[in-house]
Amino acid sequence: MAGGGGGSSAPSSTAPPPPYRPYRLARTLPAHTRAVSCVKFSNDGRLLASASLDKTVMVWSSSSLSLLATLAGHSEGVSDVAWSSDSHYVCSASDDRTVRIWDVRSPAGECVKVLRGHSSFVFCVNFNPQSNLIVSGSFDETIRLWDVKTGRCVRTIEAHDDPVTSVHFNRDGSIIVSGSHDGSCKIWDAAKGTCLKVLIDDKTPAVSFAKFSPNGKFILVATLDDTLKLWNYSTGKFLKIYTGHVNRTYCITSTFSVTNGKYIVSGSEDNCVYLWDLQSKNMVQKLEGHTDTVISVSCHPAENKIASAGLDNDRTVRIWIQDTA
């Protein structure tokens, strides 16, 4: 679909923005034996991690797409995975109520630490930019902050009234955004654990995903009514709405693509990956190929590459790249 996208924040320039170059499927990785729950590129772009309900996390080279390591150790399925800033460590959140930290440089894919404390499935996890803390959200409705070095739970926040679906630090690690099935999206002070703001407080629809923009000023929130909204959290108002995809049941992750123009990328329950132009909110492309809900997407930090993961009927990780002109 040739869209009028590609618009970065260029003021009314005389030249029209370059036409949008569509992404195409580059590779399908028959990754796991059960549904894939999450894919993430590392911060340096060299590696790709994929987590699955088959209880493992797989680490791939993002350039050759060969499998480098399989991190096994969880006793239940893994729901989320996150990279440390130096791309040396990966942490994974699992239904076995633990968070595990893995060293990806060790050849055997060794689990360095197990963080215990949650009383129910751990659903989402993230490192802070300094990578000395890990935040995790769980079905036990709490958010926990862990000290990476010792594994100690530094703080527990009674955050929500329903499972916490998403947690994310902002650019300097001072605040955390959390979304939950109880329909609220809250912002917490990372140092004190106090609630700074409640962004959304309607009972429905459930907030399935929340994430800060790269500059930490905006929050992208996905709700289970087929909607993605971009909020300015200081004013408490949303600025953009993105629709067209299907999102009623699953906590589908979405992300920003900033390597070649600004886009919002998200998975969808109609088995496609959607791309919208950030400013104009037009859907610029629909990537088809998966045979089940696309539950997670991740953009490479430097190249125009997107990775997507499919649920049980599909079980693959697909890599999409943009053709160079």
269-298 residues in contact with other proteins (CB under 8 A) are 278-279, 281
Compute the distance between CA of residue 296 and CA of residue 50 in angstroms, rounded to an integer.
10
Q: 230, 272, 295, 297: which one contacts other proteins (CB under 8 A)? A: 230
Does 265 help bind other proteins (rule: CB under 8 A)? Answer: no
Q: 237, 291, 302, 323: which one contacts other proteins (CB under 8 A)? A: 237
Q: Is the peptide bond before 19 cis (omega within 30 degrees of 0)?
A: no
Compute the distance between CA of residue 119 and CA of residue 100 in angstroms, rounded to an integer.
15
List binders of other proteins among 40-79 (CB under 8 A). none
Does 163 help bind other proteins (rule: CB under 8 A)? Answer: yes
Question: And the tokens for 64?
Answer: 């050759």
**Which part of the chain contacts other proteins (CB under 8 A), choosing from 35-43, 61-69, 183-191, 290-298?**
183-191
Does 199 help bind other proteins (rule: CB under 8 A)? Answer: yes
Give the nearest distance from C-beta 196 to other proteins in angstroms. Answer: 5
Does 132 help bind other proteins (rule: CB under 8 A)? Answer: yes
Of 269, 270, 267, 255, nearest to 300 by C-alpha is: 255
Strand pairing report for 207-212 and 218-223: antiparallel
Does 34 help bind other proteins (rule: CB under 8 A)? Answer: no
In Å, what is the CA distance from 30 to each residue of 16, 46, 58, 282?
41, 20, 11, 32
Give the nearest distance from C-beta 86 to other proteins in angstroms. Answer: 7
Confirm if 245 and 272 have CB atoms less than 8 A apart.
yes
Give, for 11, the enclosing helix (H) or strand (E). Answer: none
Does 25 help bind other proteins (rule: CB under 8 A)? Answer: no
Does 225 help bind other proteins (rule: CB under 8 A)? Answer: no
Does 156 help bind other proteins (rule: CB under 8 A)? Answer: yes
The DSSP letter of residue 223 is E
Compute the distance between CA of residue 82 and CA of residue 51 in angstroms, rounded to an integer.
10
Q: 60, 169, 233, 250: which one contacts other proteins (CB under 8 A)? A: 233
Q: Which residue bears the tokens 């100690």?
A: 152
**Which part of the chain contacts other proteins (CB under 8 A), choosing from 163-171, 266-274, 294-302, 310-318?**
163-171
Q: 76, 147, 303, 312: which one contacts other proteins (CB under 8 A)? A: 147
